[in-house]
Structure 1
Amino acid sequence: MIVIDDIYISDEVVEEQFVCDLNKCKGGCCVDGDAGAPLTNDELKEVIAGFEKVKHLLTEEGRKVIERDGLYQYDQEFGWVTPTISTGMCAYGLVDEKGIVKCSFEQQYYAGELKWKKPISCHLYPIKISKSKNTEQQYVNYEPRDQMCNPGCLNGQKLKVPVYVFLKEAIIRKYGEDFYEVLTQIADQYYVSKDAKK
């Protein structure tokens, strides 16, 4: 366990290796889940502000679900989440010509239409963050799906890319550059050097 301030990071975040392989998983994390993508309170505003920019990219069912149920929903376990369609796919998802599910917000971000990329919960996956109910503590865990994420795990091992390195942009977005620098120093000192001595 790595502890930086009130943030508790599981060893797997620096010990395990992962590089998403979209051609094999087909963006399954946008489909396979217990609810839609978790949203922070600030992200609710981003969804509202960006909806008109992504509306034309959505599936017909996605638009109908949003019109019926709203831009986001409240889940008893996960809090605010994006709506989902009958297949389980996020209502803000789209399927490209290769059959890969992509985020409509992210597509418009890359197109220069939006400044917000996508929910941080999606950006960080397969890292998941949970919070303590009674304290400010946060728990950062590496939780890939067994079958869906297996290609990404194999790809990471092949390329020798640790989870925290693959998710550098997302981690910095969530916790800042200083946090990531400290995490990298800890990883280098306690894990990379340890492996070199074996």
Structure 2
Amino acid sequence: MIEVGHVLVHEDLIKNEFVCNLTKCKGVCCVEGDAGAPLEARETDILKEVYPKVKSYMTEAGIKAIEEQGTHVIDADGDLTTTCVDGNKECAYVTWENGITKCAIEKAFEHGDVDWKKPISCHLYPIRTTQYPEFEVLHYDRWHICHDACTFGKELGVPVYQFLKDPLTRKYGEEWYKELELAARAY
């Protein structure tokens, strides 16, 4: 682990390459899994606030799921997550363009309808965070559906942490990211 401020960063974020390749995977990470995307507690209020403006970008099935279950749920492990269609697969906020998943929240953001891009866990993926009382840990979540992203990242020579510069900066700030870059070079 590499310590950057109050965050422990797993070396895999520096040693492994990754660049999303949506033409290959079609964004299947938004429709597969056993729960919705993890949420920070403060994000539940944001979801409630942006939902009316995001709704027009959503599918009928996603809207139905939100109307029945709410803008977020507590999963089987007791964690806050985005709502899913049919309980545990497709995120309710998923929409489709040319057979590729897109985030309805992000589409609303891109069109200037909301000022929040999407849940930070979605923006950070394949990085997952674990919060402890004194520090936070960032680790690389390997999932077979991201094989093409690993291959593409290797072809381009882009480490995980560099691919995710924008969301890491969004969560921790520019100074923190600069410290991470220095630590990665020293590693």
TM range (shorter): over 0.9
Compute the displacement of 1:54 (Å). 1.3
Q: Which residue does 1:122 correspond to in 2?
A: 122
Decide which structure has the larger Cα Rg and report it.
1
* Equivalent position to 2:163, from 146, 162, 166: 166
Compute the displacement of 1:34 (Å). 2.2
**Mapping 1:45-60, distance limit 5 Å:** 45-60=45-60
Q: Which residue does 2:148 correspond to in 1?
A: 151
Q: Is 1:26 equivalent to 2:23 in the alignment?
A: no
Tell me how far apart the structure 2 counterparts of residues 81 and 62 of structure 1 sit (CA, whole Å): 14
Q: Which residue does 1:193 correspond to in 2?
A: none
Compute the displacement of 1:43 (Å). 1.1
1:82-128 per-residue CA deviation (whole Å, 9 max, x = no partner) reads 110137110011011x2111100001111111110000000000000
Tell me how far apart the structure 1 counterparts of residues 137 and 168 of structure 2 sit (CA, whole Å): 13
Tell me how far apart the structure 1 counterparts of residues 135 and 93 of structure 2 sit (CA, whole Å): 30
Q: Which residue does 1:92 correspond to in 2?
A: 93
Compute the displacement of 1:76 (Å). 4.6
TM-score by length of 2: 0.95
Q: Is 1:185 equivalent to 2:185 in the alignment?
A: no
* Equivalent position to 1:176, from 159, 170, 173: 173
TM-score by length of 1: 0.90
Which runs of at least 4 in structure 1 moved beyond 3 Å after TM superposition? none
Number of aligned residues? 186
> What letter corresponds to residue 36 of structure 1 in structure 2?
G
Tell me how far apart the structure 1 counterparts of residues 89 and 75 of structure 2 sit (CA, whole Å): 15
SS of residue paired to 1:136: coil
Tell me how far apart the structure 1 counterparts of residues 136 and 77 of structure 2 sit (CA, whole Å): 16
Q: Which residue does 1:196 correspond to in 2?
A: none
Tell me how far apart the structure 1 counterparts of residues 35 and 4 of structure 2 sit (CA, whole Å): 29
Q: Is the 8 A contact 2:57 2:108 kept in 1?
A: no
1:113-168 per-residue CA deviation (whole Å, 9 max, x = no partner) reads 11100000000000000122xx222110011312x100000000000011111000
Greater displacement, 79-88 / 47-56? 79-88
Q: Is the 8 A contact 1:44 1:72 kept in 2?
A: yes
Unaligned 5+ segments in structure 2 are none
Residues 139 and 156 of structure 1: CA distance in aligned 2, closer, same or farther (over 3 Å): same
**Mapping 1:70-85, distance limit 5 Å:** 70-77=70-77, 79-85=79-85
CA RMSD of superposed structures (Å): 1.3
> What letter corresponds to residue 40 of structure 1 in structure 2?
E
Identity %: 41
